[in-house]
Amino acid sequence: MSGQDRSGHGLEIRGLAKSFLIDGRIHPVFGQFDLDIERGEFVVIVGESGSGKTTLLRIIAGLETADRGSVAVNGKAIGGVGSERVMVFQEPRLLPWLTVRKNVSFGLELRDQPRPAITRKVDDALRLVGLGTFASAYPGQLSGGMAQRVGIARALVTDPEILLLDEPLGALDAMTRMRMQQELERLWQDSGATMIMVTHDIEEAVYLADKIVVMGASSDGSGDWITVSLPRPRDRSAVQFVEIRETLLRRFNLASN
**Region 205-215 average pLDDT:** 96
How do beta strands 76-77 and 162-166 pair? unpaired
Domain residue spans of the chain: 1-78+164-173+194-257, 85-159
pLDDT classification of 256: cutoffs 50, 70, 90: low
- 1-78+164-173+194-257: CATH topology: Rossmann fold (3.40.50)
**Region 129-144 average pLDDT:** 94
**Region 86-108 average pLDDT:** 92
Average pLDDT for the chain: 89
**Region 27-52 average pLDDT:** 91
Are 43 and 208 in contact by the 8 Å Cβ rule? The answer is no
Q: What is the pLDDT of residues 8-17, one digit of tens each?
A: 568 999 999 9
Report whether pLDDT(222) > 80: no
Residues 6+ apart with CB under 8 A from 153: 104, 122, 125, 126, 128, 129, 131
pLDDT classification of 132: cutoffs 50, 70, 90: very high
Compute the chain's Rg from CA coordinates. Answer: 18
